[in-house]
Structure formats: structure tokens, C-alpha cells
């Protein structure tokens, strides 16, 4: 395989949430800091390198993190502030190239092929980006430079700081994978480093004696297809050789809008869960309308106390941004799930996002009440009502107006983007339970 020049950058902020908090709380530098929910249902969003020494990592239950690192300082997190900082950092990236594809608040792909005449070679650009981020925002980032996205992301992992008891150990922060060293770079990596190799795939590959990328590269494609399936097997066969033809796509549209929440105590009945569904659907719909977007598929996620997780979805007749319709469909999905084991986490998502004004068929069902026979008129009425609600909240705040079903549960305000990201804290009041 012949590769083109190494002009793709993957930039990843180092311990982003924790680093932003340490910038605001310099007195905590050198201490193990964990960002996330501190309560019994909390989840770790980020951990400083001092905390990572103890085995703490993102998505870990906060109770487990506390056991591993009893002296850790927990901070609740501030998603809105992280988004603000992220916007500034992405702006720095765009000074070097317009071809910036954000993956999340703290990482992005850049194509700098067209920037070499102005800014120098890709490795130079990588170092300039790191200096700019540090000088302007007092944050650090790591950069992988390679011929394609897949290799650049793997290179970033090699460039990352290493945790130690004395704090992070920084290297150059930049790792370049040249076209002629692709296979030498890939071969020693564990097979789990490859995109798409999760526990199940790794177990199947292990039975074939595959432990490293080199082992995978030597495996006949027919054996891979037989072990993991046709499309997946062929894809892994290509990745083992460093092949990835995806291009950097700037201003990529969001593929979904969602909201999920971990409850302070398990919820066991449909009534309470339905009220939460209404508030989540209201928030998701408001975010869709704000972005002038609609979605075709409504889904829910239910996680029980034993961490068993169920997802369900339904495709609408036409894309919608109606909180009423999203809530109705989500509640219908919920009705087919037995909550008696106790629900730990609940989420609502809308996917199949489209932009522009498209026709849709709605029923004005007052979020669950019987639909009117005059569907078209009521569709217009409900849209006008939701538009009015958006305007009132924009002027007077989120708690100024709410839906009747939420009010009956004593919770007027909708769930907003960034709210309760990582589980409730101990101070958070538990919800009413059935």
C-alpha cells in the first residue's frame, strides 16, 4: 500500500474538563481532581493525570473512583464553560486551515495539505497549534500527524502525556507517522487499539491467535470474514494495513440530539418515568427548533440498577421538531419496557436529523391525551404554542413556563443541554418515586 503525505492532524486536548477546572482552581494543581457527579449515581467525566495514576478514568462510576482514589477532589463540572473554551480552541485550529472537523468539545481532525505554503510542514503546524493553545488558553493538547484520520488518531495516543505519581509526564506532544513507516507503527500495537475491536471482536480474534495488529494483518481476509462477519472483517483487514479513505469534513451536521439522566434513586413506575420523558422530549425538541432541524427517528435508552441497558426506537412518518410528538412516541416505547427492576438512567434521542422546513403530520395530543380529529389545524396550533413557549423561555428564563405534565410532578423547568451531565450529586434531591 502506498500512502500519500502525512497532512492529516488529530488534535486532542489533554484531560480537557479537568484541565479547564484546574485553570479556574490553581490551588488544586498537583492534587487528584475528578470532574463529574459526586453522588452515589455519579459518573466520572474526566480525571486529572494525578487521579489517573490510581486507575480512575472517564465513564467510571464515581463510587468506584472514590474507592480507588479516596483523596480525590470532586468538582461538579460546567458544560457551558467547557463549550465556551472549546469554541475558542476550535477557532485557533481554523487559523491554520478551514478544514476542521470537530469530533467533540476536546478533539478534532484537521487537513493541513493546503496550509503548508503559508505555515510550513504539518509537523511544524502541529507544534504551532500546541503553542497557540497553551499561550492563549493555558491548556495543553496532543497532536497526531499521519496520512489519514485513522492513523492520526492512533498517533495522538502515542503523543499523550503519561500519568505518574508526580503529575503528567509530557513528551513532545506531537507524533508523526510518515508514509513509509505506517506498518512499522501499526504492527506492535495491541489489536484492541483498532477502531471497531471491542470485547466481543477481541475475544473472537483471540481464539484465532490474534493479539497484535501484525497478527491481524497476516490473517487472510477470508478468515476474518468468517470470524467477525463480512463487512466488519473486510474493514478490519484494511485498518490492519492502515487504509482509511475518509476525508476531513468541516461543519459536519449533528447526527442526533439527545438528553439522558442518571437518577439519584432507582425509579420503579411508568408514571414518574413518563414525566421525565416529557421533560427530556421538551428539551430535545427545543434544541432542534433552535438549530432549525428536525428528526426522523425517536429513541429511548433505559438502564436498570444492575447496569443492564435497553434501547428502543421508532421511525416517524415525517421528520419532526415537536416536543408533543417526540414525547408521545418515546412514552409509547417506554410502555413496552418493564420498569419494575428499577430504572437507574433514562434518555431520549432524536436521530435522522434534517434541516429546512419539511412537511409533517402531527396530532395535538397534549402530550398523551387523545388526539383530536382535526389533525392539520391542531398541528398548526401546537407549533404556534411551542414557538410561543420558546420565546417566553428565551426572554424570562427556562423556569418561566413548563408543560402541564411536568408541573404536576413539581418540575416546571425543562431539561436543558448540559444539565446534569454526569449524574446527581449528593446534594441533589431525589426525584419523587412511585
Span between the terminal Cα atoms of the chain, in Å: 61
The CA radius of gyration of the chain, in Å to the nearest whole number, is 24
Cell readout for 20 is 479547564
- Per the structure block, which three cell numbers stand in for 233? 472483517
Active site residues: 107
For residue 45 the three cell numbers come to 467525566
Return the sign of the alpha-carbon dihedral for residues 20, 23, 25, 27: positive
The dihedral sign for the CA sequence 147, 152, 154, 156: positive
Geometric angle at alpha carbon 114, from 109 and 117, rounded to 5°: 125
Three-class DSSP category at 61: strand
- Where do we find the cell 437507574? 344
Q: Among 251, 249, 256, 253, which Cα is nearest to 352's?
A: 256
Rounded alpha-carbon distances, angstroms, from residue 309 to 59, 88, 211, 221, 346:
15, 36, 29, 33, 10
Amino acid at each position: 500500500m502506498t500512502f500519500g503525505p502525512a497532512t492529516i492532524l488529530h488534535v486532542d486536548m489533554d484531560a480537557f474538563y479537568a484541565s479547564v477546572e484546574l485553570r479556574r482552581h490553581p490551588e488544586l494543581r498537583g492534587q487528584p481532581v475528578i470532574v463529574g457527579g459526586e453522588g452515589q449515581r455519579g459518573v466520572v467525566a474526566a480525571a486529572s493525570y494525578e487521579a489517573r495514576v490510581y486507575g480512575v478514568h472517564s465513564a467510571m462510576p464515581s463510587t468506584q473512583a472514590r474507592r480507588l482514589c479516596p483523596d480525590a477532589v470532586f468538582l461538579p463540572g460546567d458544560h457551558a464553560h467547557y463549550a465556551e473554551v472549546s469554541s475558542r480552541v476550535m477557532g485557533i485550529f481554523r487559523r491554520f486551515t478551514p478544514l476542521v472537523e470537530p469530533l467533540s468539545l476536546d478533539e478534532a481532525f484537521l487537513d493541513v495539505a493546503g496550509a503548508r505554503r503559508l505555515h510550513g510542514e504539518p509537523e511544524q503546524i502541529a507544534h504551532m497549534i500546541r503553542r497557540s493553545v497553551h499561550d492563549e488558553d493555558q491548556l495543553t493538547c496532543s497532536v497526531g500527524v499521519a496520512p489519514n484520520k485513522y492513523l492520526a488518531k492512533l498517533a495522538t495516543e502515542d503523543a499523550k502525556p503519561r500519568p505518574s505519581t508526580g503529575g503528567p509526564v509530557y513528551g513532545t506532544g506531537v507524533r508523526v507517522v510518515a508514509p513509509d513507516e505506517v506498518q512499522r507503527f501499526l504492527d506492535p500495537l495491541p489489536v484492541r487499539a483498532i477502531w471497531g475491536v471491542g470485547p466481543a471482536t477481541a475475544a473472537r480474534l483471540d481464539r484465532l491467535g490474534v493479539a497484535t495488529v501484525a497478527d491481524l494483518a497476516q490473517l487472510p481476509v477470508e478468515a476474518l470474514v468468517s470470524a467477525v462477519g463480512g463487512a466488519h472483517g473486510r474493514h478490519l483487514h484494511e485498518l490492519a494495513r492502515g487504509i482509511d479513505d475518509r476525508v476531513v469534513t468541516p461543519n459536519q451536521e449533528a447526527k442526533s440530539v439527545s438528553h439522558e439522566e442518571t437518577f439519584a434513586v432507582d425509579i420503579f413506575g411508568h408514571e414518574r418515568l413518563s414525566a421525565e420523558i416529557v421533560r427530556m422530549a421538551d428539551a430535545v425538541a427545543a434544541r432542534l427548533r433552535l438549530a432549525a432541524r428536525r428528526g426522523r427517528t425517536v429513541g429511548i435508552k433505559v438502564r436498570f440498577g444492575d447496569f443492564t441497558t435497553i434501547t428502543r426506537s421508532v421511525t416517524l412518518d415525517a421528520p419532526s421538531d415537536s416536543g408533543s410528538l417526540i414525547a408521545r412516541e418515546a412514552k409509547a416505547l417506554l410502555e413496552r419496557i418493564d420498569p419494575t427492576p428499577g430504572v437507574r438512567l433514562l434518555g431520549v434521542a432524536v436521530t435522522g436529523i434534517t434541516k429546512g422546513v419539511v412537511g409533517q403530520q402531527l396530532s395535538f395530543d397534549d402530550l398523551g391525551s387523545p388526539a383530536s380529529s382535526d389533525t392539520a389545524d391542531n398541528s398548526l396550533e401546537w407549533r404556534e404554542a411551542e414557538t410561543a413557549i420558546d420565546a417566553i423561555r428565551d426572554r424570562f428564563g427556562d423556569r418561566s413556563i413548563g408543560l402541564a405534565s411536568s408541573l404536576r410532578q413539581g418540575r416546571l423547568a425543562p431539561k436543558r443541554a448540559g444539565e446534569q451531565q454526569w449524574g446527581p450529586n449528593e446534594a441533589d434531591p431525589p426525584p419523587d418515586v412511585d
